Amino acid sequence: MSHYIRHCRFAPQFKELEALHEKHKDRGLVLIGFASKDFHQEAKNGDEAAQICYINHGIKFTILAPSSVKGRDANPVFKELARQTSAPSWNFNKYLVNPQGKVVEHFGSLTSPDSKQLTNAIDERLSQTNTP
């Protein structure tokens, strides 16, 4: 069992995130995971992140190599997310971003990927995007 699984109670969300990806990818949902360097328990490099995500959890959506996601050293994507909403306080924050790059909703770690709140928000946004 990996170090990450033993220490992060949110790791089961990988399965739920993959289910969202599979359900909505053909409707235009693009799911990108950012491995983080900020919470003292995550993968230390890209190979370890790949093992945790792709091998241990079977996800197929894109996971980027570990980088900072909060503070001065945050990667540019998370600097912009924080500017528009707030920086993540822990792993597994979810940001819904429209095609123009505007954050339309932000959900914290405690919001499960299969929660009604998140799934309804995704359905609503995809319906708006896919309307002729």
Structure token digits, residue 46:
């890209």
Active-site annotation holder among 8, 17, 52, 53:
8
Q: Which of 39, 49, 38 is nearest to 75 (CA)?
A: 38
Rg of the chain over Cα atoms, rounded to whole angstroms, equals 15
Q: Per-residue DSSP letters for 37-104? A: SSSSSS-SSHHHHHIIIIIIS---SEEEEEE--SSTT--HHHHHHHHHS---SSS--EEEE-TTS-EE
Our answer to whether residue 8 is catalytic in this structure is yes
Provide the annotated active-site residues. 8
